[in-house]
Structure 1
Amino acid sequence: MESEKRNMRRLRAAMIAAVLGAAAIAAPIIVAPSASAHGWITSPPSRQDNCATGAVSFSCGGVQYEPQSVEAPKGSMQCSGGSGFTVLDDNSKAWPRKSVGSTVTFQWKLTAAHNTSTWEYFVDGKLHQTFSQGGAQPPSNISHTLTNLPAGNHTVLARWNVSNTVNAFYNCVDISVGGDPTGNPTGGDPTGGNPTGGDPTGTTGGTTGNGTCTDPAWSAGSVYTGGARVSYNNTKYEAKWWTTGENPGTSGQWGVWKNLGAC
């Protein structure tokens, strides 16, 4: 009888040891962090985009392989946000400078659409425009149109503020602002599409082009909800969801605006 008890105790001890050993092996798998990816500005090219495309004459380090990962706590005014990609903060580097007009659309490429509170754009350290996302997830190809940019050479700091974490994503874009809002030094239509126009939105009084549109003209400063219709460059568009500052002409198939055809 005593022998059977000893055997039972040995069996229980062996089972406990096996369970603990399995847990020790599994634990690193459970807690191991996963890699994440996020987004960056591709047009006009941000500093990290210039690094990723090889447009610079110097080494950028790791950011050239992950331009989407310039992430740091909110509130920084550094191009790197205070992250490890400090090369982005070095203004002595020969960063390419894009020639643009006083109105220019900043195009983002998102590899993970985080819930977003706001998008902030600073020109030489001064807040120029803010676009609200209301805590929603943005589309993967979101863009914002900045207006009334001052003439001259500037560095624009774009801050993408995630709503459900303490972090933001940072991009610096080096631009040279000329007189034409499209960035076209030859002048002409401020929209780059209508050589006879003079209205920076491409619309005048709710009509565009030949004046046949009946929907209100799109305005970069207005807020639109799903179902709202606008006219832009003699074309009708309908908003798929809440939006502001997103140019219908650059929305694309997967963007916020649905192309309803010519007016």
Structure 2
Amino acid sequence: MRKSRKIILSLAGAATLAISASMAALAWGHGYNSDPPSRSALCAEGEVTDCGAISYEPQSVEGPKGFPAAGPADGQLCAGGNDRFSELDDPRGGNWPTTAVDAGATTFTWTMTVNHATATFDYYITNANYDPTQPLTRDDLGLTPIASIDMGGAQPDHTMTQTVNLPARTGQHLVFAVWNIADTTNAFYSCIDVDFGGGGSGEPTDPPTTTDPGTGDGCDAPAWASGSTYNGGDEVVHGSAAYRASWWTQGEEPGTTGEWGVWKQTATC
């Protein structure tokens, strides 16, 4: 009897470890639309403030897949139904920075931090009902994708660039991008605010005022160490500059991770 009890406890422990590992794998599956910048990207770059947790993990807007028949609820689409990122659903009076676009072929870029097996990348765009001062709903969108890139279960590269033919629109609209994972029940969501008739420059228009990194701010942080583990929001000093981590990282040197990488410079020291 005692031996059987040990076997049962061992099996229970193994099952707990397996579940924990599975949950950890799911938690680290990440990606977001970085160009034109999604709301997540704008928050991570500091172009928009008061964004909450999404500022440190723009790649984590994960929610149930199956859009439009299933998926996140109306009014929660931009956050993927994730309450932690509800700031993304706040229309901010229609004042999210927009990227100027024209109808026709437009390049969209995703940044991936984990390369999940992928079913499709689907793109939707708002219709004549869209009011940028209100949270996004299905009624605001054409529910047939304007583009669907079938990956057939393949893993994407760290950076995925796709061409989408945007239909004719006038004024401010929103592109709703969905990365459907092949081997889980989830998808990743990105809301990209665009402006038709803005000259097609591809640059964000009318962004809020931001302050460039200033000398001294953050320079009292500890020095970066290659063997240390850092979480989103942690600050370090490296190479005469201060940096803040956008998400969990280890061994990635500040100043080398690029515009959309984990380390964001906050000051010169």
Q: TM-score of the superposition, structure 2-length normalised?
A: 0.55
Q: Specify which of 134, 139, 156 is matched with residue 138 of structure 1.
A: 156
CA distance in 1 between counterparts of 2:80 and 2:9 reads 43
The 8 Å contact of residues 31 and 114 in structure 2, kept in 1 or not, is answered as: yes
Aligned positions of 1:8-157 closer than 5 A: 29-32=17-20, 33-34=23-24, 35-57=27-49, 59-74=50-65, 75=67, 76=71, 78-84=77-83, 85-92=85-92, 94-102=95-103, 103-124=105-126, 125-126=141-142, 127-149=145-167, 150-157=169-176
Pair 1:56–1:161, CA change in 2 (3 A): same
Which residue is equivalent to 1:192?
none
Aligned-partner SS, 1:62: helix
Which residue is equivalent to 1:176?
195
CA distance in 2 between counterparts of 1:136 and 1:115 reads 5
CA distance in 1 between counterparts of 2:124 and 2:29 reads 24
CA distance in 2 between counterparts of 1:129 and 1:20 reads 51
Aligned-partner SS, 1:155: strand
Listed as ranges, the gaps of 5+ residues in structure 1 are 1-11, 185-263
CA distance in 2 between counterparts of 1:164 and 1:17 reads 35
Greater C-alpha radius of gyration:
1
Pair 1:182–1:25, CA change in 2 (3 A): same
The 8 Å contact of residues 62 and 188 in structure 2, kept in 1 or not, is answered as: yes
| CA displacement at 1:97 relative to structure 2 | 0.9
| CA displacement at 1:21 relative to structure 2 | 7.8
The 8 Å contact of residues 118 and 151 in structure 2, kept in 1 or not, is answered as: yes
Cα RMSD after superposing both structures: 2.7
CA distance in 1 between counterparts of 2:166 and 2:12 reads 60
Deviation digits for residues 131-162 of structure 1 (CA, Å, limit 9, x no counterpart): 21122112221111122432321111001111
CA distance in 2 between counterparts of 1:147 and 1:73 reads 26
The 8 Å contact of residues 107 and 164 in structure 2, kept in 1 or not, is answered as: yes
Deviation digits for residues 31-50 of structure 1 (CA, Å, limit 9, x no counterpart): 42324131001111000111
The 8 Å contact of residues 106 and 166 in structure 2, kept in 1 or not, is answered as: no
Higher relative contact order (CA 8 A, sep 6+): 2
The 8 Å contact of residues 100 and 180 in structure 1, kept in 2 or not, is answered as: yes
Q: TM-score of the superposition, structure 1-length normalised?
A: 0.56
CA distance in 1 between counterparts of 2:16 and 2:157 reads 34
Aligned-partner SS, 1:142: strand
CA distance in 1 between counterparts of 2:180 and 2:32 reads 13
Listed as ranges, the gaps of 5+ residues in structure 2 are 127-140, 204-269
Aligned-partner SS, 1:147: strand
Pair 1:17–1:169, CA change in 2 (3 A): closer
The 8 Å contact of residues 177 and 183 in structure 1, kept in 2 or not, is answered as: no
Aligned residues between the structures:
171
**Identity over aligned residues, as a percent?**
38
| CA displacement at 1:106 relative to structure 2 | 0.7
Deviation digits for residues 180-233 of structure 1 (CA, Å, limit 9, x no counterpart): 66648xxxxxxxxxxxxxxxxxxxxxxxxxxxxxxxxxxxxxxxxxxxxxxxxx
| CA displacement at 1:26 relative to structure 2 | 7.0
